[in-house]
Amino acid sequence: MEAIIEYISINQQELYIFILAIFVGVEVISKVPTVLHTPLMSGSNALSGVVIVGSIIVLGKTDPSNYLALSLGFLAVLLATLNVVGGFAVTNRMLEMFKKNQVKNKNHDFTDNRYLLPGSGGTLYRWYQDDESSGFCEKRKQHRPSRNDIGYFSLLFNPRFR
């Protein structure tokens, strides 16, 4: 207990600065508008990238016989990598929300290999595409056959396309 009190008395100024930085950080982040959270996420991903580089450097300079330091260094690299990958995935999903829906091309190209799968695979692929021409009802999650499906199915039996 005396060692802890001695450490606090020696590093008192650094501890005050650290505690003050925590409060300032909380106040600054709470005042940020929601529109700016995406760039902040990217910034935190960049900081995690710096943590990865630092932990790799420290791990490289560790004594090979010190298994505790090696395992903690490996854990630091692993967790920082997961943080970066997860952060970029979340940022990408947030950016996807702001994209406008693109209109799909109603004039499908019959030379596209997806529509000429052997057997009924081409028709089944066409049934589950999520656009109006396929006849897929989003609310009921079931298929209503349309002329396009019959046309794709008839491609399989047409002598010109064999």
Note the pLDDT tens digit of each residue in 40-96: 777 777 788 888 898 899 899 999 999 998 999 999 899 988 888 887 787 778 778
How confident is the model at residue 102, as a pLDDT? 62
Quick one: average pLDDT of 25-51?
Answer: 79
Using pLDDT thresholds of 50, 70 and 90, give the confidence band for residue 123: very low
Question: In this prediction, what percent of the chain has a pLDDT beyond 90?
Answer: 20
Is 55 in the same domain as 93?
A: yes
Is 87 in the same domain as 119?
A: no
Q: Yes or no: say if 111 and 85 are a contact pair by the CB < 8 Å rule.
A: no
Is 81 in the same domain as 139?
A: no
Domain that holds residue 35: 2-97
Name the token pair of 153. 């199915």
* Residue from 55, 48, 118 nearest 85 by CA: 48
pLDDT for 127 beyond 50: no
Is 13 in the same domain as 78?
A: yes
Instruction: Note whether residue 105 is domain-resident.
Output: no
Instruction: Note whether residue 72 is domain-resident.
Output: yes
Instruction: Note whether residue 92 is domain-resident.
Output: yes
- What kind and span of H or E run contains 33? none
| Total number of domains in the chain | 2
- What kind and span of H or E run contains 83? helix 67-97
Is 22 in the same domain as 80?
A: yes
pLDDT for 140 beyond 70: no
- Domain limit, last residue, from 73, 97, 121: 97
Using pLDDT thresholds of 50, 70 and 90, give the confidence band for residue 22: very high
Using pLDDT thresholds of 50, 70 and 90, give the confidence band for residue 121: very low
Residue scoring higher pLDDT (108 or 23): 23
Is 18 in the same domain as 92?
A: yes
Using pLDDT thresholds of 50, 70 and 90, give the confidence band for residue 107: low
Is 120 in the same domain as 69?
A: no
Is 34 in the same domain as 86?
A: yes
Is 82 in the same domain as 133?
A: no
